[in-house]
């Protein structure tokens, strides 16, 4: 996966098919790959200590084998002798007998201790470097730990604090206090939003409980969630096929065991695997009231087609049409495949920042913008090692341009959904702050109110009209949603 830059979910599926692995063999291979990726930096710290050398001095194929062996020893219920023996055999096959001897020696040093004991040895001290400790314990780069803490409104020594604010301050208020409940005004930034019992406690005692819960949730294997396409299938059909009805999505069902492709609705393209928060982002857009006509909808960045499929089904039921656009032809083709049979949907290859449609042409627009993917680290754990803060900054310009374009494509009275699979503030509220600060023709709708059945969705004040899903709260990807109404014609041509 490192050598050819493929995502694990794509490469592993292809490898399992190529080798004909099914059942328990496929499950074991899947756990080895995903478990090793999720715990990589923690395992690397252990390997480095036991190898008595820096990791960059270990040949990459040998290091990959060591990581697999370490996961068997510390993260699976495999007997130590079996884990060491199979890993050494793999090392011989890949690198030869001399490197295999090195692998054997390192793993035998790792085997006597359990994971928790190793964490205490290799992780920074929790009391003096909490972010560093959590970074090692939960195998996330430190910058992601800090980004999650900022999004969750927590701080600790060594983590930069961020003050919420949208410029809407009242006389005598600071920007950071704008929109805060009266009881929280005057409190230190780090204590806002905390339970009363935690206020005033030393930071070392209070910790970063929400951040730690989010990091721990990223280490869990996500459940398989299905979405029935309206007009083609129903949730009841999925439940009949031994899935469990989703808590909130009227289209969703959870599949605890088995192959989704064995369900006829999935095999026939009438349902598909789709995270529940992704389903609810579409639902929120379709629940928002569009003033006036409601006939033509747009998915601005439609590939590979998951949200577009659901949006097209709902549009067809309401007598509306969907245009699904994507800049990249291969993603547009994927969207076209996903939309087969969903009514009047049309797929085009088009640049969302230089659109082929006239301004104000659409009644509803979904801007599910390209992002870092930090909200889906349960599904793509390797993304945490492929991204860095420079990527976030580079994406910001595109995200702003696409949101501006989405607003321009929406008629006055129409609705825009800005969606990212990331909780990073630079991809969520900062984008909205910038665009809202430059435009006078946008009103922010109350997204959590439109998804009232889902608890704890509101972002911290003064951003409570934005919705943020979290794995540790909702069992979903960390998807962010902002709903906007186009209110004027300031930017439309005469």
Catalytic sites, residue numbers: 421
CA distance 149 to 209: 9
Q: Which of 32, 107, 104, 41 minimizes the C-alpha distance to 75?
A: 32
Q: Which of 336, 301, 297 minimizes the C-alpha distance to 319?
A: 297
- Burial bucket for residue 392 (CB in 10 Å: 0-12, 13-18, 19+): buried
Question: What are the backbone angles phi and psi of residue 481, rounded to the nearest 5°?
Answer: -135, 130
Q: Give rounded-to-5 percent helix, strand, coil for the chain.
A: 50, 10, 40
CA distance 38 to 49: 19
DSSP character at residue 55? G
Q: Which of 249, 150, 278, 164 minimizes the C-alpha distance to 208?
A: 150
Per-residue burial over 415-445, b if 16 or more Cβ lie within 10 Å, else e, is bbbbbbbbbbbbbbbbbbbebbeebebbeeb
> Do residues 250 and 199 lie in contact, with contact meaning Cβ atoms separated by under 8 Å?
no
Cβ-Cβ contacts under 8 Å for 308 (sequence gap 6 or more): 299, 302, 322, 324, 335, 338, 339, 345, 347, 366
């Amino acid at each position: 996966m490192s050598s050819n830059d493929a995502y694990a979910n794509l490469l592993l599926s292809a490898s399992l098919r190529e080798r004909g692995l099914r059942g328990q063999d496929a499950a074991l291979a899947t756990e080895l790959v995903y478990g090793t990726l999720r715990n990589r930096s923690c395992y690397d710290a252990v390997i480095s200590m036991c190898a008595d050398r820096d990791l960059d001095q270990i040949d990459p194929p040998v290091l990959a084998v060591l990581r697999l062996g370490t996961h068997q020893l510390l993260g699976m219920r495999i007997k130590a002798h079996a884990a060491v023996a199979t890993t050494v055999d793999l090392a011989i096959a890949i690198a030869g007998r001399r490197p295999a001897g090195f692998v054997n020696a390192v793993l035998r040093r790792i085997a006597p201790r359990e994971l928790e004991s190793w964490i205490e040895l290799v992780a920074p001290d929790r009391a003096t470097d909490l972010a560093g400790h959590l970074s090692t314990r939960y195998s996330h780069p430190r910058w992601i730990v800090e980004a999650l803490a900022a999004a969750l409104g927590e701080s600790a020594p060594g983590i930069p604090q961020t003050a919420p604010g949208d410029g809407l301050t009242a006389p005598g208020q600071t920007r950071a206090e704008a929109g805060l409940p009266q009881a929280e005004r005057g409190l230190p930034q780090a204590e806002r939003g905390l339970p009363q019992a935690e206020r005033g406690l030393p930071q070392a005692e209070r910790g970063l409980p929400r951040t730690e819960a989010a990091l721990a949730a990223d280490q869990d294997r996500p459940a398989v969630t299905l979405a029935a396409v309206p007009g083609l299938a129903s949730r009841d059909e999925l439940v009949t096929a031994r899935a469990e009805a989703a808590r909130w999505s009227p289209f969703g069902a959870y599949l605890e065991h088995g192959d989704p492709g064995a369900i006829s609705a999935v095999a026939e393209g009438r349902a598909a695997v789709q995270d529940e928060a992704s389903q609810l982002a579409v639902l929120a857009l379709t629940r928002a009231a569009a003033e006036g006509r409601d006939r033509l909808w747009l998915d601005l960045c439609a590939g590979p087609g998951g949200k577009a499929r659901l949006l097209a089904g709902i549009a067809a039921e309401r007598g509306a049409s969907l245009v699904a656009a994507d800049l990249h032809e291969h993603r547009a083709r994927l969207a076209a495949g996903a939309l087969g049979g969903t009514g009047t949907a049309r797929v085009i290859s088009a640049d969302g920042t230089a659109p082929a449609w006239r301004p104000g042409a659409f009644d509803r627009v979904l801007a599910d913008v390209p992002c870092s993917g930090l909200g889906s680290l349960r599904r793509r754990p390797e993304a945490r090692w492929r991204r860095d803060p420079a990527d976030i900054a580079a994406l910001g310009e595109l995200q702003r341009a696409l949101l501006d374009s989405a607003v321009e494509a929406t008629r006055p009275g129409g609705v825009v959904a800005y969606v990212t699979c990331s909780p990073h503030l630079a991809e969520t509220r900062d984008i909205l702050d910038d665009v809202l600060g430059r435009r006078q023709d946008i009103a922010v709708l109350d997204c959590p109110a439109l998804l009232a059945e889902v608890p704890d969705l509101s972002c911290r004040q003064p951003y409570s009209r934005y919705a943020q899903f979290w794995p540790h709260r909702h069992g979903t990807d960390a998807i962010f949603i902002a709903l906007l109404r186009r209110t004027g014609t300031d930017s439309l041509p005469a």
